[in-house]
Homo-oligomer: A and B are copies of this chain.
């Protein structure tokens, strides 16, 4: 009576995994979070350049919902990572590597949003959820999303 109390119906089963595989999963999540800021920044910068002509710290700060000093610090890290080119007090540009990453991220972002929308989710929720989900979607899963979108 205490061990297998499946009194109600179990809608979905818990998958029993090897500790090592589970640890691997968590490590993947932690890695995704490390790249997340870089991805969101280059994505945003690319969009600002495209829609506003240039990418300025104020605007980045406004759209990310953070304060300007945070942007300065993070942009420095992007620069150190070779994703961004810029001189102090000037607008921000993407290096080739930055542009490549931005391309990948924007495409992935759009696919995730489109997929959520195709499930009948409203636009605001789709965008909000996608902003986090996008960083945890593997190539395999992204392809599955696209397959669904194209076949419907």
Q: Spell out A's residues near B (CB within 8 Å).
A: 11-17, 19, 21-29, 32-33, 40, 47, 51, 59, 62-66, 106, 110-111, 113-114, 116, 119-129, 131-133, 135-138, 140-141, 144-145, 147-148
Contacts and interface: CB of A to CB of B under 8 A. Distances in A.
A141 B113 contact: no
Given A28-B132, A29-B132, A132-B29, A138 B113 contact: no
A27 B131 CA distance: 10
A129 B138 contact: yes
Number of copies: 2
A77 B33 CA distance: 21
A147 B118 CA distance: 13
